[in-house]
Amino acid sequence: MPHAVARLRDARLARSAKPFVARGSRTPRCVRCRVASSHCLCSWLPQAEASSGVCLIMHDIEPLKPSNTGWLIADIVADTHAFTWQRTGVDPALLALLADPQYQPFVVFPGEYAEPERVVTGVEVLAHKRPLFILLDATWIEARKMFRKSPYLNSLPVLSLQADVLSRYHLRRSTRSEHLCTAEVAALCLALAGDGRASAALDAWLDGFTDHYLGAKHHREPDPNDATHRALAAFGQR
């Protein structure tokens, strides 16, 4: 069964009045991993389980972009939910998810943009709850707007990550190297919640995706014996 981001992409395509043309759209792509068919990496998908949940609130066209990394999160974390952000409303299913008593939701966003009393730097949940990490999947400018204009998130704690790493993601340009892509943020959240294996698997999957994506772009064959592929192989494949 397709995961949450794949289903959101299909729904977005179904309501499109005209086709979405992404950069590189003429390249034949694997429908599963979204990499050029010549460089498909589906056979490298790592196995890992996570007790945490992830809720992706995605800007309108994010699910359509081949370079979107929210898709990679859903590949690894089975309990991933995906919704399109709405400027003037909210999906009732999203509200139901946020109110689900099995979860403790955290909005993952820099603490400098939230009231100090909302900001937390660690994941503390009651014994009968699981963390649900809410990630705003968009460009940085769009994500700030989404954070400000989503009142249904205002009562939730804001998890401010104290990351001292630079982004390894090279498929889109960012003016600030400390801005992590969505998958990198999710991996940090999983590690904080004690889902270390899933965190490492997601990091390895992002590296593999980047390697194959750029390999196709630059006509370079992936090396199945390099560090990236050895890291993926260590998890076993599905």
Among 9, 11, 21, which residue's Cα sits nearest to residue 68? Answer: 9
Rounded distance between C-alpha atoms, residue 183 and residue 202, angstroms:
7
Split at pLDDT 50, 70, 90, the class of 148 is: very high
Contact 9, 29 (CB under 8 A): no
**Using one digit for the tens of pLDDT, what is the confidence trace for 105-116?**
999 999 999 999
Residue 21: pLDDT band by 50, 70, 90 thresholds? low
**Domain assignments of the chain as residue spans, ordered by start:** 4-233
**pLDDT band with cut points at 50, 70 and 90 for residue 167:** low
Average pLDDT, the chain: 90
pTM for the model: 0.92
pLDDT at residue 70 above 60?
A: yes
Q: How far is CA 48 from CA 98, 118, 183, 203, in A?
A: 25, 31, 15, 12
Quick one: which of 64, 75, 86, 54 has its CA closest to 8? 64
Q: What's the confidence (pLDDT) of residue 177? A: 46
Average pLDDT over residues 123-132: 88
Confidence of residue 233 (pLDDT cuts 50, 70, 90): very high
Mean pLDDT (whole number) for 206-228: 96
- Residue 133, pLDDT > 90, answer yes
**Any idea what DSSP says for residue 113?**
G
Q: Assign 15 a pLDDT band (cuts: 50, 70, 90).
A: confident
62-79: average pLDDT? 96
Q: What is the token pair recorded at 5?
A: 């981001």
Q: What pLDDT was estimated at residue 127?
A: 76
Whole-number Cα distances in Å, 41 to 2, 30, 187, 198, 209: 17, 9, 20, 18, 7
* Rounded mean pLDDT, 190-196: 96
User: Residue 163: what pLDDT?
Assistant: 67
3 has pLDDT over 80: yes
